[in-house]
């Protein structure tokens, strides 16, 4: 085709050339620069979107862990706070609360003149006595102190306020008596309505035991609490010395060898008024206001010398062949001198059921 054949319509105009050039330029820009949003920012690629998603998940996970740790910390803090606010059970010490008579008083058979025991708390306020409205539960007793070691009964009388300090020697005496005369000290059987205090020797002379069991079996719906039954020679010596020196709260005690506790014919009980008529019906005698917890068993049968004194004399002679004393069952100056020197834990050579006796 010649130039003459080209018509004006076939020749691209200037505007067409400009538009074509613009389209080509735009195509080149599109190949170099990524697409942008309406705000002018470039659209993210797929890898960028994935990385952003991972970062979001990690951030959410970290926030969740932080919130969980804070919740655990708050829960523990509340638990500690609640534990701190709970009332604490306090074991009363001897100086904080006194709710029972001393062991020495109980062994000797004495209480306050009112028949009750005062209670004082750790701040010095009076507590309600037993049986009064508002008192629901007895405080737990203080843990007893470990007994001190004494070399002789005399040292024990001066340094102790519990008859449990001569337990070893007392058990030897009881065993010796039961070897010599089984009916002198007969153990009390268990009864549902019989409660025995700790550290007492639950033995009575056979006839006294029989009558006491009648009282218990006739009154099955009532509970008898016994504070003291049998008391051995060294125990009686202790309370006698305590009374003489006004120690350990003991005001009155009979001399060794003369107490009905030593021969198994006496007992000290709680609620003496409740049991008085029933015991008196079975030949027990209430001692009265001077010793309101004490009852003696009345019998016309003469028991003779104290069996615990005779048992001690026998034990002493068995362990001191070069310093023998008479086994008479009578408490005299020679017996007291040896008792004071005796070991409260017992002799090296203990009781025996041999019938051989020392001749004098």
What is the DSSP secondary-structure string of 51-93? HHHHHHHHHHHHHHHHHHHHHHHHHHHHHHHHHHHSPPP-PPP
For CA atoms 247, 234, 228, 214, give the dihedral sign. Answer: negative
Q: What are phi and psi of 108, to 5 degrees?
A: -80, -15
Q: Which of 169, 81, 136, 206 is nearest to 349 (CA)?
A: 169
- pLDDT digit string (tens) for 259-306? 999 999 999 999 999 999 999 999 999 989 888 999 999 865 555 689
Q: What is the distance between the alpha carbons of residues 209 and 195, in angstroms, rounded to a whole number? A: 15
- Written out in words, the top-level CATH class of the domain with range 147-360 is alpha beta
- Residue 14 pLDDT: 52
Contact 326, 334 (CB under 8 A): yes
State the Cα angle at 270 between 128 and 261, rounded to 5°: 140
Report the chain's C-alpha Rg in angstroms: 48
DSSP 254-306: PPTT--TTTTT-EEEES-HHHHHHHHHTTTEEE--GGGTTEEEE--SS---S-
Q: Which of 301, 277, 255 is nearest to 285 (CA)?
A: 277
- Residue 16 pLDDT: 52
- Residue 31 pLDDT: 47
- Residue 74 pLDDT: 76
- pLDDT digit string (tens) for 214-260? 999 999 999 999 999 999 999 999 999 999 999 999 888 899 999 99
Contacts of 274 (CB under 8 A, 6+ apart): 222
- Residue 118 pLDDT: 35
- Residue 312 pLDDT: 98
- Residue 114 pLDDT: 33
Q: What are phi and psi of 335, to 5 degrees?
A: -65, -40
- Residue 353 pLDDT: 87
Structure tokens at 198: 């700790």
Counting as low any pLDDT under 70, the low residues of the chain are 1-44, 77-147, 299-304, 355-360
Structure tokens at 187: 């153990």
């Amino acid at each position: 085709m010649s130039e003459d054949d080209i018509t004006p319509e076939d020749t691209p105009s200037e505007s067409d050339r400009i538009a074509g050039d613009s389209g080509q330029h735009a195509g080149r820009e599109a190949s170099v620069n990524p697409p942008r949003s309406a705000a002018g920012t470039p659209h993210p690629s797929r890898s960028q979107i994935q990385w952003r998603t991972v970062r979001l998940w990690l951030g959410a996970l970290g926030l969740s862990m932080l919130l969980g740790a804070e919740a655990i910390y708050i829960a523990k803090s509340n638990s500690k706070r609640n534990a701190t606010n709970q009332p604490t059970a306090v074991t009363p010490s001897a100086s904080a609360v006194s709710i029972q008579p001393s062991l020495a008083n109980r062994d000797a058979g004495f209480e306050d003149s009112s028949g009750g025991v005062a209670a004082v708390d750790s701040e010095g306020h009076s507590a309600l006595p037993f049986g009064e409205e508002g008192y629901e539960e007895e405080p737990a007793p203080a843990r007893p102190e470990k007994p001190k070691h004494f070399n002789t009964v005399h040292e024990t009388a001066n340094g102790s306020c519990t008859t449990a300090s001569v337990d070893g020697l007392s058990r030897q005496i009881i065993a010796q008596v039961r070897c010599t005369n089984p009916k002198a000290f007969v153990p009390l059987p268990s009864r549902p309505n019989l409660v025995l205090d700790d550290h007492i020797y639950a033995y009575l002379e056979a006839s006294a035991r029989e009558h006491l069991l009648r009282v218990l079996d006739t009154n099955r719906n009532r509970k008898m609490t016994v504070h003291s039954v049998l008391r051995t020679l060294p125990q009686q010596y202790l309370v006698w010395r305590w009374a003489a020196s006004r120690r350990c709260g003991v005001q009155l005690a009979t001399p060794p060898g003369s107490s009905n506790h030593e021969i198994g014919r006496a007992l000290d009980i709680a609620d003496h008024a409740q049991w008085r008529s029933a015991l008196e019906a079975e030949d027990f005698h209430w001692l009265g206001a001077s010793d309101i917890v004490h009852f003696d068993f009345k019998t016309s049968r003469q028991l003779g010398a104290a069996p615990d004194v005779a048992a001690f004399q026998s034990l002493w002679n068995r362990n001191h062949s070069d310093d023998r004393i008479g086994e008479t069952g009578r408490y005299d100056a020679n017996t007291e001198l040896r008792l004071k020197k005796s070991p409260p834990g017992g002799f090296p050579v203990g009781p025996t059921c041999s019938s051989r006796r020392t001749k004098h």
